[in-house]
Structure 1
Amino acid sequence: MSGNTDGIVRAWVDGWVVSRGAAPPLREPWGYTIDVGTAEHVTRHVLDAVNDGVEERTVRKVADSVTGTGVRLKVFDGPATVAAWLGEGWWTDPEPGYLMSVSLAAAETPPAPDGYRVRVWTRGGVTRVMLAAPDGSWAARGQIVPTGGTAVVDQVETSPAHRRRGLGAFVMRTLTQEAVTQGAEKGVLAGTPDGRALYEALGWRVEAPLTNAKFVGAAGQRP
């Protein structure tokens, strides 16, 4: 995979900040700085290079400038590579994330799974889908943010008690169809290893691996 993804990182950043209610991204020579504002996630730095475009010297420069705990770093290369470039005080998630995309097209909205209650609503630019189980408990959820021609999927989750019933696929199909009706033509997300199989089964492809790192201080304790 090459270092060029035709603006996919910026598209992901633009949608993510709306989805999470974070501050507008600040453009940096190497990528973006985003203020999130919680104790465990104060700020995040997102490098915009991907795959073979990621440079060790740039990662080191950005990481070495961090002195406060709770600052996170997102690098679009594998954890085994990136972890070796980070200094003392950085915790790196050993599991890779994945930057993924898909072309969106109009399709029929999938039928609701039997026995589950579905709610879809949009507020503040974010469209959410929730499924409640027959007993009223939470079963699955997800959200999407259309930003012009691109829509960013975020926080797709299924309760452990309701997995392997097609709820994740239902949430994804519902979200993407909602985005298509709002004019989106391409979907983008940052997925986990667990989510990757679901997304690929729905036609998504991996654009780049994603390393998640967090500065925890000189003690180097895992968050």
Structure 2
Amino acid sequence: MSFINTSEAVRAWVHGWAVSRGAAEPFSRPWGFTVDIGLPGHVMSHVLPTADEATVRALTGNAAAPGVRLKALVPPATLASWLAPGWSLPDGPGFLMSAPLRATRDHARTTLPEGYRLRTWTQADVTRAVVSTLDGARAARGQIAVTGTTAVVDKVETSPAHRRRGLGRLIMHTLADAAVVRGATVGTLAATPEGRALYEVSGWTVLAPLTSALRGADPA
């Protein structure tokens, strides 16, 4: 399975991301989706699959609580030029990526380096993978949320002291294997520039830029 278009990929990503983060079911809007998060600093997210200047100006120009985010598939410079006062781009450039999910056939890709251990578990359609040192320090982690035949990879990170040892690739292949067992055939994720390099090595491709804007605190 592969996505027919980017809008389809965005829909899959939004719904899987909501499951991964334990957020509310995304609410469809004429311009995209709204997801209620309910966390300090991240009250809700508006996601625009096909952003345009008029829509962004209308959404960000209306009264919004601090902590509201707007995510659009445009480069940072484009989104920044459309934002109303009070909004910023705190996270830098990002990318929406996708890949077909297949069971790992190369055993070496899922073999732990010496001195580490891997634990995986699944709860409520989310599988988590954690690599730790033998004394219990976390070295790498990630999770994947399965929603039917699609899955969203989320929160992949490797601690600085444990990078360049293949742990990130191990996490990616472990998560993909877990999703395939549960029936997923294609995955999506949101990547930073640093993460993009890891994901491309693992067979993922960029579908579009993905930029996040944040409504800041109200003036004192």
Output the TM-score relative to the length of structure 1: 0.91
2:23 match:
22
Verify the 8 A CA contact 2:7 2:49 in the aligned structure 1: no
Mean CA deviation greater in 69-78 or 86-95: 86-95
Mean CA deviation greater in 59-68 or 172-181: 59-68
1:96 match:
93
Mean CA deviation greater in 92-101 or 77-86: 92-101
| TM-superposed deviation, 1:95 | 1.9
Matched residues, percent identical? 54
CA root-mean-square deviation: 1.7
1:158 match:
158
Which amino acid in structure 2 is aligned with residue 77 of structure 1? V
> How many pairs does the alignment contain?
214
1:141-176 Cα shifts (integer Å, max 9, x gaps):
000011111110000011111011110000000000
1:172-208 Cα shifts (integer Å, max 9, x gaps):
0000011111111101000111100000111100001
Q: Secondary structure at the match of 1:200?
A: helix
Q: Secondary structure at the match of 1:9?
A: helix
| TM-superposed deviation, 1:104 | 1.3
Unmatched 5+ stretches in structure 1: none
Unmatched 5+ stretches in structure 2: none
| TM-superposed deviation, 1:112 | 2.1
1:128 match:
128
Which amino acid in structure 1 is aligned with residue 118 of structure 2? V
1:30-58 Cα shifts (integer Å, max 9, x gaps):
01111100121011111122xxxx31111
Residues 1:77 and 1:160: Cα distance change in structure 2 (over 3 Å): same
2: CA distance between counterparts of 1:189 and 1:83? Answer: 23
1: CA distance between counterparts of 2:84 and 2:211? Answer: 15
2: CA distance between counterparts of 1:163 and 1:136? Answer: 17
Output the TM-score relative to the length of structure 2: 0.92
